Amino acid sequence: MITKKNLPRHEFIGLKVKVIESKNKSQVGLKGKIIDETQKTLKIETRDGEKVIQKSGCIFKFMLPRGKSMMLSGDAIVARPEDRIRKKFKEWDIV
């Protein structure tokens, strides 16, 4: 079960996400389903096609099961998905 407490260590593929803040202003407001993740990027399937978003410099709003949502700093999740599981997160990483 994905919760606010375990989201940073959870698999992101399949989750819905929205870009709240970004260094690239054209990405702000993009939303869709995460279809792939690398160390530095999220690939999101949007209405207008697939978009690759840099994690660094962004704030993402993840939609969790049961209608809950959570904002997370992209800088905090810059890591390979398999390495993120072991990473310790600070309270302020979760926006």
Q: So where are the chain's domains?
A: 7-89
Q: Tell me the CATH number of domain 7-89, given options 1.10.3720.10, 2.30.30.210, 2.40.50.250, 2.40.50.140.
A: 2.30.30.210
pLDDT band, very low/low/confident/very high, at 92 (cuts 50, 70, 90): very low
* Per-residue pLDDT tens over the stretch 40-76: 999 999 999 999 999 999 999 999 988 899 999 999 8
Report the alpha-carbon distance of residue 76 to residue 47 in Å, rounded.
27
Largest CA distance in the chain: 35
Report the alpha-carbon distance of residue 17 to residue 76 in Å, rounded.
16
Q: Give the pLDDT of residue 86.
A: 74
pLDDT at 95 over 80: no
Whether this model's pTM surpasses 0.85? yes
